[in-house]
Amino acid sequence: MKDQFLEKDEMREIIDEFIVEAGELTEKAIQDVVVIENNPDEEMINSIFRAVHTVKGTSSFLGFDALSTLAHRAEDILGMVRKGNVAPDHAVGDALLEALDLIKTLLEEIKESGAEQSDTAPTIEKLEALKNPEKKEPGEMCEEAGAVKTDELHDVSKEQEGAPKGKEPGEIVVEGKGARENQVNNLPIKQKTQTHKEESTIRIEVKKLDELMNLAGELVLGKNRLILLNNIVKKSDATNNALDNLADITNYIEVVTNELQLSVMRARLVPISKLFNKVPRLARDLSAEFGKEIGLTMEGEETELDRSLIEALHDPLIHIIRNSVDHGVETPEERARKGKQKEGTLSLKAYNEGNNVIIEVFDDGKGINVEEVKKKAREKGILGDAELATLPAREAMNLVFAAGLSTAKKVSNISGRGVGMDVVKTNVEKMNGQVSIDSEEGKWTKLTMRLPLTLAIMRALIVGVLDDLYAIPLNTVTELVKLSEGLIKSVDKKEVLVLRDKVIPVVDLARVFTGEPQPGEDKYVIICNIGEKTIGIKARAVEGQEEVVIKPLGEFLGNVKGIGGATIRGDGKAILILDMSALVSHSSFLNAYRKIA
């Protein structure tokens, strides 16, 4: 009937809307279920109930019967939780999560093939089984836990009847000192309501935003050319009146373009909570899998980041957290032996620092054994004895990011899938980010990721090496040193620059790119900071700062070590953008590379 009434494409549009809506509701409900397991917040239970209720209603109305029946059963359980007839414990959480996961799968199937395919019977059975547990009063639960004896409970019941304000049985048990307070704490406590701020948003296809971003990028290039032209013309004729106009317009276009580019960039920013929201569920499942007890804290979920970065961060972050739970945090027994709190802490923090977003993952587990890492590095031939002896502890720790170095003694089914921290590093560097690790053995480990706000546009310093120009990402540049004779010294056949008592290794790009020393005089050293490291880069000329639009090198050239991409300058010529992280590893592991090469 409704199909005849509405046009086919109208129906299709309604179903599309339904898939998006139900998907979002389900995703949110999954996050909330993990929360109510530990903290049965009334408003949150209501919101899960509403979500499942809506999915049930709309799916039945669109004729997706399996989906609607499944949602209906889940709604029944949630209704009982809401009324307080069922406590939202782990068993309930497991069944609800299974149901919600299945709902997501069914939605995926509808999206792909237009019909539900998965079998919902086993999940529905689990939900049904939860429906008929014996109803237990809080007092009964105290009794079962051995906190109070049955006859004490009877007294309590009487007292409750006589109590003026109708105290809860649990409350009275505590007052009478029959049970310690924390024994009653696992009974539902009403916690402060977490209000979810509703954002006023509209949905835009990512493709459309990408197009806008591309256009803004092209406009930046156009603006650069206009500035260049303006400068050339001004030099040739400084008296012409029309030229003042050109200068005005150039100025105007520059301001507008910059604003436009910023706005488009902001439109692409998404709060990192999109990513962090998945962590509680992950931590829950991983703790169960590895028999760990983990308390999770998260900070700065509102920090914004380009959406493509959020997507690209997903896998590395999951891997890092798996690593923390698997190899970082000890088992409760081990922690007790060490005199630590039984429950390990895992905390995630995100914040802005200048034009960067910093993400920290901290755990108070066993930390990194530096000697172990060094031993592994020696065994795998990543570094030789000489380098290892002089390597500072902090840098040695960061060897965990080197390919082929896994310090975990036992290979677990997750952390040992053949991908290690080197993959995390590669992924983060692909985003023009940096990753580093710090730790105190036996106490804690902190992994820090530093990411740019956006991938598409950045400020760069344009420098001359040999006869070509290169762009160095400006966020890594700390200062420029003009070279005079004797400033660069040689230590162990490596060039270094001593700057205010600090020894900085110097990279000779001409040599890196050609493989041999090149004649000619370098006039500058550009000092760059990458993570914990500082290096100097020799240059023949420095052209100045410029906004560059990053273009990938394309499949033909692919991954050239040390080159992060290319850009087109105001004069229409293409120049290469240096990949600083790659250059740093080049300078510090130079010998290792030589061995391989």
Partner 1 sequence: MKRVLIVDDSPTMRKFVGYVLRRKDYATEEAEDGLDAMEKLSNYEIDLVIVDLNMPNMDGISFVKNLRHSYYNLDLPVIMLTTTSDRELQEEAYGAGINMFLTKPVQPNVLLDSVESLLGGGA
Candidate residues 28, 39, 50, 426; the one interacting with partner 1 per rule CB under 8 A: 50
273 binds partner 1 (CB under 8 A): no
Smaller CB distance to partner 1: residue 62 or 497?
62
Smaller CB distance to partner 1: residue 13 or 571?
13
Question: Do 176 and 277 contact (CB within 8 A), yes or no?
Answer: no
Distance CA 170, CA 173 (A): 5
CA 468 to chain centroid, in Å, comes to 37
Q: Where are the beta strands (DSSP E) in 488-585?
A: 488-491, 494-499, 502-507, 524-530, 533-539, 541-549, 563-568, 574-578
Candidate residues 21, 89, 152, 168; the one interacting with partner 1 per rule CB under 8 A: 21
136 binds partner 1 (CB under 8 A): no
The region of 18-26, 304-312, 360-368, 456-464 touching partner 1 under the rule CB under 8 A is 18-26
Residue 53 Cβ vs partner 1, minimum distance, rounded to whole Å = 6
Candidate residues 61, 111, 355, 541; the one interacting with partner 1 per rule CB under 8 A: 61
Question: Do 481 and 524 contact (CB within 8 A), yes or no?
Answer: yes
Residue 73 Cβ vs partner 1, minimum distance, rounded to whole Å = 15
Candidate residues 39, 60, 258, 518; the one interacting with partner 1 per rule CB under 8 A: 60
The region of 47-55, 163-171, 260-268, 563-571 touching partner 1 under the rule CB under 8 A is 47-55
252 binds partner 1 (CB under 8 A): no
Q: Which of 569, 456, 552, 565 is nearest to 213 (CA)?
A: 456
The region of 9-17, 30-38, 276-284, 493-501 touching partner 1 under the rule CB under 8 A is 9-17
Candidate residues 26, 31, 58, 588; the one interacting with partner 1 per rule CB under 8 A: 58
Burial class for 459, CB neighbours closer than 10 Å (0-12, 13-18, 19+): middle
Question: Do 444 and 367 contact (CB within 8 A), yes or no?
Answer: yes
The region of 46-54, 357-365, 432-440, 508-516 touching partner 1 under the rule CB under 8 A is 46-54
Distance CA 370, CA 436 (A): 14
Candidate residues 12, 17, 333, 498; the one interacting with partner 1 per rule CB under 8 A: 17
108 binds partner 1 (CB under 8 A): no
The 3 state secondary structure assigned to 42-106 is: HHHHHHHHHHHHHHHHHHHHCCCHHHHHHHHHHHHHHHHHHHCCCCCCHHHHHHHHHHHHHHHHH
CA 71 to chain centroid, in Å, comes to 31
443 binds partner 1 (CB under 8 A): no
- Cα distances (angstroms) measured from residue 319 to each of 177, 327, 427, 476: 46, 12, 11, 27
Smaller CB distance to partner 1: residue 13 or 371?
13
12 binds partner 1 (CB under 8 A): no
Question: Do 506 and 522 contact (CB within 8 A), yes or no?
Answer: no
- β partners of residue 538: 525
Distance CA 243, CA 234 (A): 7
5 binds partner 1 (CB under 8 A): yes
Candidate residues 13, 259, 299, 571; the one interacting with partner 1 per rule CB under 8 A: 13
For residues 368-404, b (16+ Cβ closer than 10 Å) or e, as one string? Answer: bebeebbebbeeeebbeeebbeebeeebbbbbbbbee
The pair of structure tokens assigned to 271 is 């709060």
Smaller CB distance to partner 1: residue 13 or 315?
13
65 binds partner 1 (CB under 8 A): no
Residue 135 Cβ vs partner 1, minimum distance, rounded to whole Å = 22
Residue 42 Cβ vs partner 1, minimum distance, rounded to whole Å = 13
Smaller CB distance to partner 1: residue 202 or 596?
202
Smaller CB distance to partner 1: residue 53 or 307?
53
Candidate residues 53, 104, 446, 459; the one interacting with partner 1 per rule CB under 8 A: 53
Q: Which amino acid is at 104?
A: K
333 binds partner 1 (CB under 8 A): no
Smaller CB distance to partner 1: residue 62 or 373?
62
Distance CA 388, CA 401 (A): 15
Residue 25 Cβ vs partner 1, minimum distance, rounded to whole Å = 9
Residue 50 Cβ vs partner 1, minimum distance, rounded to whole Å = 6
Range list of H helices, 84-205:
90-113, 121-131, 138-144, 150-162, 169-175, 181-184
Smaller CB distance to partner 1: residue 198 or 467?
198
In terms of DSSP bridges, do strands 494-499 and 502-507 run parallel, antiparallel, or are they unpaired? antiparallel
Range list of H helices, 237-290:
241-267, 273-276, 279-290
Distance CA 513, CA 343 (A): 51
Total residues at interface with partner 1 (CB under 8 A) = 21
DSSP 509-527: HHHHHHSS---S---EEEE
> 470: phi > 0 → left, psi -120 to 50 → alpha, else beta; which?
beta
218 binds partner 1 (CB under 8 A): no
Residue 112 Cβ vs partner 1, minimum distance, rounded to whole Å = 19
69 binds partner 1 (CB under 8 A): no
Smaller CB distance to partner 1: residue 76 or 543?
76
- β partners of residue 361: 348, 447
The region of 13-21, 430-438, 454-462, 474-482 touching partner 1 under the rule CB under 8 A is 13-21
Candidate residues 36, 44, 45, 47; the one interacting with partner 1 per rule CB under 8 A: 47
Residues in contact with partner 1 by the rule CB under 8 A = 1-2, 5-6, 10, 13-14, 17-18, 21-22, 47, 50, 53-54, 56-58, 60-62
